[in-house]
Every structure is written in structure tokens, then in C-alpha cells.
Structure 1
Amino acid sequence: MAKEEEIIDIEDIFVRYDIVKESENELPYKEVDFSRQANKTKWVVTEKIHGSNFSLYYTGKSWRVAKRNSLLTEEEMMTFFGCSEVIPKILQSAPMLLTLIKQHNPHAVAFVIYGELCGGNKNFPGSQPGESPDVPVQVGILYSPKIEFIPFDMDVIIKEGSIYKHEALDFDLFIEFTEKSKIGHVPVIKVCDTVDEALSINLTFDSLVPKQLGYTTIVKGTNQAEGVVIKPYPKMVHGTKSVRESFKRKHPKFKEIEDFELPRQNSDYVVAEANILARITKARLQSFVSKNGVKEDLEVVQREVLDDVLLSCSRQHILTYNWWFNQGGNGQSEQAKRIQQRAYFKIAELYKTVLEEQKIN
């Protein structure tokens, strides 16, 4: 008698997608096993899509979609950047993707495909009336008049005992499976022999997405891509665990940290204030809206953006991060309170600007 296939609760297999590191400086070069592998592996460079993180979990019997931090409810599916428009297309490819994955790994019980929702720009050259939603996923780059899903990664989900584990799919298999299933994938710019070669890629180029989708109406030199993502090819292994050691490089137009100079005589407070305020940029607020949608409560926006800024500091300027929390953070000391007030004011002004621009586009 055939064994009955287990019904998987997708709540049990959801994980937040790994944070893509801000730069190559965040890679663990000091770890011997990483350095050894980094010098022997190839690195793939793909276009970085300026959109909203979106994923599909699929078991063969059930499916759920998710944003970066959580699974979406049925109500959220109807409001999250028009994702309901792309779900049917993803589901058409899902059975073949699962078949290909199980052929590659018989222990697989499910998969998750990660990508970016993007597009929906009503001022896209040649777009038709009513073709685009009222609000695009992002502004600053034209991808499509419609909402699109551009996959960039996949996890294979296996079960060991009672534990579900995610295994990152090697990029060559990701390309093969997404092409065979006709779901498509992020534009690949180049496969490089070394990290240094990948870092030499010129960041000034038009987005490759419109042409990949079949649109040819954008004037050359007018649609700067956000940047690139660089990842090992194949994936790296730390101990027994496969990991993503990817990082992004943004074109200066989209960078989320402003240039600044410190006065010669400065204190920990001055350094902290400069580092925090420099990270509150229009690009960061645009990214916040594309990831989270429009939020009516300004205090929530201010708090979450400042938390994101502090997370950036924790990865890139730990002295500022430590100073903030040694002060009690969140306005506990008088100095922290002054920084928080200036940060909240800047966030409010930029948020207003971003929302006004979004209405136009």
C-alpha cells in the first residue's frame, strides 16, 4: 500500500529571506573556509531589481505567498502591490518546478521561489489606458506598465526527522529550472572567475528587464538600473550548511547613504548623528515603500525607518550602533533624543516627497 503523502503546514516552513549584504566589506573574509572557497569559486552578477520582495511556497498540495517578513493573508493578497495579478502565472509554473526539483533532490518536499514585484508604471512609454494600477510598486526605474514578478533565487525544502530545512539552490540549477518552467528569472549580466572581476562591473547601465519582458520603447540611456547583486556560483558551504554570501552594489543614484564629512573636533555623539542622518535618504524611503507599501501612521514609518538605519549601522558602523544603545536608544538620553527628533523630521519630509512622486508615476 502506497504511503500517504504528508500534508505540510506552510507556516512551519516559512523563513525570512537572507539579508543581501550592503557591500563586499560585510563578507566574512576573515573566516578561513570562506576565504578558501571565495578564491576558488565563480561569482555571478545579476541586475538588482528595485521592487518589493515576494515569494511563493509550494508543496504540490498547497501554496502560500509571502512578503519579506511574513506570509500574506488572503486579505493582504488583494492589497499588496497588485500581487494577485501575478500569482496565477507563478502557479502555472509551480508543478513543473517541483518536478524538476524532486528529480534533482528526491528528499525535497517543497520549494520556495523568491523574487521581486516590480512595475506598474503608468507613464511607461507606449502603455495603454487602464493597463497600469493606480500606484506602481516603485518609482525611479521603468520595468513594465504591468505588475511583474522577477524571480532571483530558490530554496529546496527537505525534512530531516521532524525538522524542515531550507537548502539554497545552486544558481545554474535556478536558471535551468526557471527557464524550463517558463517562469523567467532576473537578468544575468556576467559570470566572473573572481570577486575582483565581479566588482569591476560598470554600474552605469539601463535596466535589462524591459527588453527581457519584450518592451522596446524606452530610449537608451534614460532608465538607469538600481545596481547589481553578486553571489557565489555555486553556493558556498560553511560546515554542513549551504549559505548565501551575496552582496549588492547600487548605482550612486540609488544609494541609501549620503556623503558626509565630520568636523575635525568631534565626539561619539557627533559621529553617531552624522552616520544616522546620512542613512536617511530619499532612496531609503523609496525602498521602504516598495517593501512595505504605503502606511498611514507616520509614527510607525518613522520608527521602522530609523530601526532600518540602525540595522545598517550595526553592519557598517558598529560604533554608532553601540553608542545609540548605550544611550538607551529611542530618545532615552538627551543626546539620543535630539538625534531621534532630527531623524524623525527628515523621515517625515522625505516620506511626503516619495508619496507625492508615486502618485505622479
Structure 2
Amino acid sequence: MGFTKYPKIPLSTKDMPDLPAGAEWIVTEKLHGANFSVACDADGKVEFAKRSGPLPLEEDFYSFRSQRLDRRLQEPARRVRALAVRCGLAASGDSVCVFGELVGGHYPHPDVNPVPGLQPVQRGVWYSPDLRFIGFDLAVTPHHQPPRYTDFDAAASCCEAAGFLFAAVLARGTLPHCLESPIRFSSRLPARLGLPSLEDDNLAEGVVVRTAREGLPLRTLLKRKIDEFGETRYSSPNWAAAKSGGARAASGPHDLLRYEAMARVTESRFEAVESKTGRLDAADKVACRKVLEDLKEDVRLALVEDGVASSEAALAEALSQELCDELDRACRGLIGSVVGRRARQERSARGVGG
């Protein structure tokens, strides 16, 4: 059973193929967790994966094995494949994979008991005291062929019948209608799980807008995030003017590139990078080095994807050694700050001073 990496979701429609005229679109909540998938082959073998690759038996990704989530998902994975074959979504020899988000691990409500020793997958939105897997896509993979994604409604029906939680539709209609759907709202997931509301707003990360049907040459979906979860933060409110030449802060291309690069060294970006491999252990120097390099690479890719540089080659040519060193220091500082704050929070939660 080969591993399929879930594609990165763009932030806009600008890089999409010709958008299908008259297509039905849907809106779902974008959950703030770690990309996770559960696959089952024709022999009933079940495998798990994070965004960057399959999870070996010894890897306890965000405690999903120690919390026995792997055992709880085994039978739903076999059932969803059997249902997909029965409904004609898959052939008898195909593998089936449910893509989704691993969330939870903390829910700060006085009437909800914590799970001892469990840390949240992500912070900023609270979903559940225990770990939960919420599906949002179903892919069918014939032998030695690329995956084929299933229409959303069929995927949701099949996955829910098999026992998976699946993304709920918040709005449905034309693309303009769905793009007008609010992105600032309290997460709907805790209520689905029967949990009491929190005192604060517990804002959702944002939404995913996508076509209800698949089958186009390229998939058509995009994400829209609220500012609090944006992966680019400009330090100056005048930076928009500086980009268009209306401010004195930027004196040349080097300054423009520097400001754009530093704006992408954010905690949200670090958390997104970290979620691909698992929670960072500050004592694991190899893991720390990998996350550092992954974060710098993600910043560089974002500069190209966001149109700051025309290509990776053009960016490499424009990046001076001085700017590379500054990016390295900024990423190191961010990682150290986040990991240090987490350590203090964990000591405080255990009642340990310092």
C-alpha cells in the first residue's frame, strides 16, 4: 500500500485551473490540528500516516498510539473500504484512504475532566480533552495508479456510515455565495462532540471552500483563515504602502525581500511545519535541526508561492548570505521562544515553579 501525500491547500483561486461553470461549492470548517490519514488495502491491512509519510509502529504521533486511537480506527477503516466497494466507489482490489485532521488533547472547561498526561495537538482552538480524528476526504487508489478523490457527499456518507467523524457542511451554493460565507465564528466541533461551550469565543481557524464534486483535471479547493492564524504577519501597519513604493521604510529590493521573509517567520507557520512531523522535543537535537531547516524551507517556498520571487531559482539568487543568516537567527529565536513557553506552561500545569 503506497503512501499518498495530501496536497497543500492554496489560499486563493489564482493558481487554480479554469473554475467549473455552474459547479456546486461547499464550505467546511478548517480544523487546527495535524494532517493525518488512515488507509486500508484489499487484504484489510490498516496503516496510518502523517503529512510527511507513513507512521511506523514505534512512532507515537501526538500520542495517537498510547491513547489507543490507532486501535479504535482499525475497524472503521476496514468498514469504510468495504462500503466503498459495495457502493461502487472502489473496485475489489483498491486501497481506500480517509484523510483528515488529528485534533484535541485539551479542553479548558471546569466541567470537563482532562486526560492525564495528554498534550494538545495544537493550541489556539480547543476541540476535545481527548484525541479525535475528523475526516475530510476519501481517496481510492487502484493498484500502481494515482489516487482518485471521491465526491464530498459520497465520501461523507460512506465515512460516517463506517463510524468516522467527518467534516460538516457549513454552507452550500455557488462559488461567490461560498466565498461570502463568514470565516470568523466559534468552532462548531465541540458542540458536535457534546461538549459545553467555553467562556471565550474559541474562534475557528477558518474555512475550506471546495467543489462538491470531484473529477476535474486538478482539484478545486482553497482555505481562508482568520488573521489570528495567518502564517504571514507584517511588523508595520504601513508595510502595504512600502510594498507599493509609498513608504520610506524599504529602500530597495533587498529591504523588500528582507521584510517579506521576516513577515513569514511566525508562530502559526512554525506550528504548521511542526505538525507534519510531530510535537518537537527540545532535548532531541536532530529533531530540532530538522524543524529549523523545514521552517526556513517553508518560508522560502512561501516567498515563491506568494509571488515575492518569480521562482525558486530567482529567490536563491536574490538571497544574500547576510539575509540567509538573519532568517536562520529569526527561525531559531522563534522556535526557542515557542518551545520555552510550552515548557513553562507544562511546569505550571504540574504545579512546578520556575
Q: Same fold (TM over 0.5)?
A: yes
1:350/1:133 CA distance change after superposition, 3 Å = closer
Of 36, 40, 45 in structure 2, the residue corresponding to residue 62 of structure 1 is 45
Matched, 1:301 2:294: no
Contact 1:256 1:284 in 2 (8 A): yes
Letter in 2 for 1:47: E
Of 20, 37, 46 in structure 1, the residue corresponding to residue 9 of structure 2 is 20
Which digits, 9 at most, give the CA deviation of each residue in 1:293-320, with x for residues without a partner? 1143343332211111112222112427
1:290/1:333 CA distance change after superposition, 3 Å = closer
Contact 2:104 2:130 in 1 (8 A): yes
Which digits, 9 at most, give the CA deviation of each residue in 1:67-99, with x for residues without a partner? 0011011100xx211212222222221232112
What CA distance in whole angstroms lies between the structure 1 residues aligned with 2:321 and 2:194? 55
| SS at structure 2 position matched to 1:151 | strand
What CA distance in whole angstroms lies between the structure 2 residues aligned with 1:212 and 1:111? 26
Aligned length: 328
**What's the CA shift for 1:357?**
5.0
Q: Residues 168-317 of structure 1: matches in 2 within 5 Å?
A: 168-193=149-174, 195-219=175-199, 222-238=201-217, 243-259=218-234, 260=236, 261=239, 262=242, 263-264=247-248, 265-292=250-277, 293-296=279-282, 297=285, 298-317=288-307
**What's the CA shift for 1:42?**
1.1
**What's the CA shift for 1:27?**
2.4
| SS at structure 1 position matched to 2:276 | helix
| SS at structure 1 position matched to 2:118 | coil
Q: Residues 24-35 of structure 1: matches in 2 within 5 Å?
A: 24-28=13-17, 34-35=18-19
| SS at structure 2 position matched to 1:95 | helix
Contact 1:258 1:279 in 2 (8 A): yes
What CA distance in whole angstroms lies between the structure 1 residues aligned with 2:75 and 2:139? 18
**What's the CA shift for 1:101?**
1.1
Matched, 1:127 2:112: yes
Q: Residues 90-169 of structure 1: matches in 2 within 5 Å?
A: 90-103=73-86, 104-105=88-89, 107=91, 109-121=94-106, 123-129=108-114, 131-159=115-143, 163-169=144-150
For structure 1, the 5+ residue unaligned runs are 1-9, 29-33
1:355/1:166 CA distance change after superposition, 3 Å = farther
1:177/1:359 CA distance change after superposition, 3 Å = farther
Letter in 1 for 2:37: S
What CA distance in whole angstroms lies between the structure 2 residues aligned with 1:357 and 1:44? 38
1:312/1:358 CA distance change after superposition, 3 Å = farther
What CA distance in whole angstroms lies between the structure 1 residues aligned with 2:8 and 2:342? 24
1:222/1:133 CA distance change after superposition, 3 Å = farther
**TM-score (normalizing by structure 2):** 0.84
Between 228-237 and 65-74, the greater mean CA deviation after superposition: 228-237
Contact 1:277 1:343 in 2 (8 A): no
1:334/1:283 CA distance change after superposition, 3 Å = closer
What CA distance in whole angstroms lies between the structure 1 residues aligned with 2:229 and 2:158? 31
| SS at structure 2 position matched to 1:137 | coil
Letter in 1 for 2:322: E
Of 312, 321, 325 in structure 2, the residue corresponding to residue 333 of structure 1 is 321
**What's the CA shift for 1:140?**
0.9
What CA distance in whole angstroms lies between the structure 2 residues aligned with 1:283 and 1:197? 28
What CA distance in whole angstroms lies between the structure 2 residues aligned with 1:132 and 1:355? 17
What CA distance in whole angstroms lies between the structure 2 residues aligned with 1:353 and 1:26? 37
- RMSD of aligned C-alpha atoms? 2.4
| SS at structure 1 position matched to 2:259 | helix
Contact 1:302 1:348 in 2 (8 A): no
What CA distance in whole angstroms lies between the structure 2 residues aligned with 1:94 and 1:335? 47
| SS at structure 1 position matched to 2:80 | helix
What CA distance in whole angstroms lies between the structure 2 residues aligned with 1:335 and 1:254? 26
Of 45, 52, 58 in structure 1, the residue corresponding to residue 27 of structure 2 is 45
**What's the CA shift for 1:102?**
1.0
| SS at structure 2 position matched to 1:116 | strand
| SS at structure 2 position matched to 1:89 | helix
Identity of aligned residues (%): 24
Contact 2:39 2:77 in 1 (8 A): no
